[in-house]
Amino acid sequence: MIQYKENDRVEKEDLKQLYSSVGWIAYTNNLEVLDQAVNNSLAVITAWDNEKLVGLIRVVGDNYTIIYIQDILVHPDYQNKQIGTQLMNQMLQKYKTVRQKTLLTEDAPDVRHFYEKFGFSSCDKGSAVAFYKEF
């Protein structure tokens, strides 16, 4: 049974295992930065199978007018088991009074469908425009 925890400190090795499992090596190349980023987020909700970290969602923002869903990831062995849905539902419930909820992700049919089912709209389908600058 999957257990969900909110804002518990996540150890570096657990973060490395989870982020590596989905191929997010840009994060795992500097574990110190990843550790600081995750553990200094506005909110973090994690999913655990016993002692194994299998999912995580984290939010940055001001807690009042905007939140930014920075990361949501589920270990490949645990995908399509509603863990990502549960993580997103818990986070959206936590911030239900925040007016602006934003995220940036790669475009893929399954990714688009996942976010649209929570009421997110893609900027390419509306009047909003998104800009980003990578390091």
The per-residue pLDDT for 135 is 63
Q: Which two tokens stand for residue 80?
A: 């399509």
Higher per-residue pLDDT: 120 or 60: 60
Domain boundary assignment for the chain = 2-103
How far, in Å, CA of 135 to CA of 18, rounded? 23
Q: Residues 57-72: pLDDT tens digits?
A: 999 999 999 999 999 9
What are the structure tokens assigned to 73, written together? 């990831």
pTM confidence score = 0.88
Confidence at 130, pLDDT banded by 50, 70, 90: confident
Backbone φ and ψ of 37, nearest 5°: -65, -50
Would you place residue 90 in the very low, low, confident or very high pLDDT band (cuts 50, 70, 90)? very high
Query: Phi first, then psi: what are they for 123, rounded to 5°?
Result: -60, -25
Does the 2-103 domain belong in CATH 3.40.630.30? yes
Give the model's pLDDT for residue 126: 67
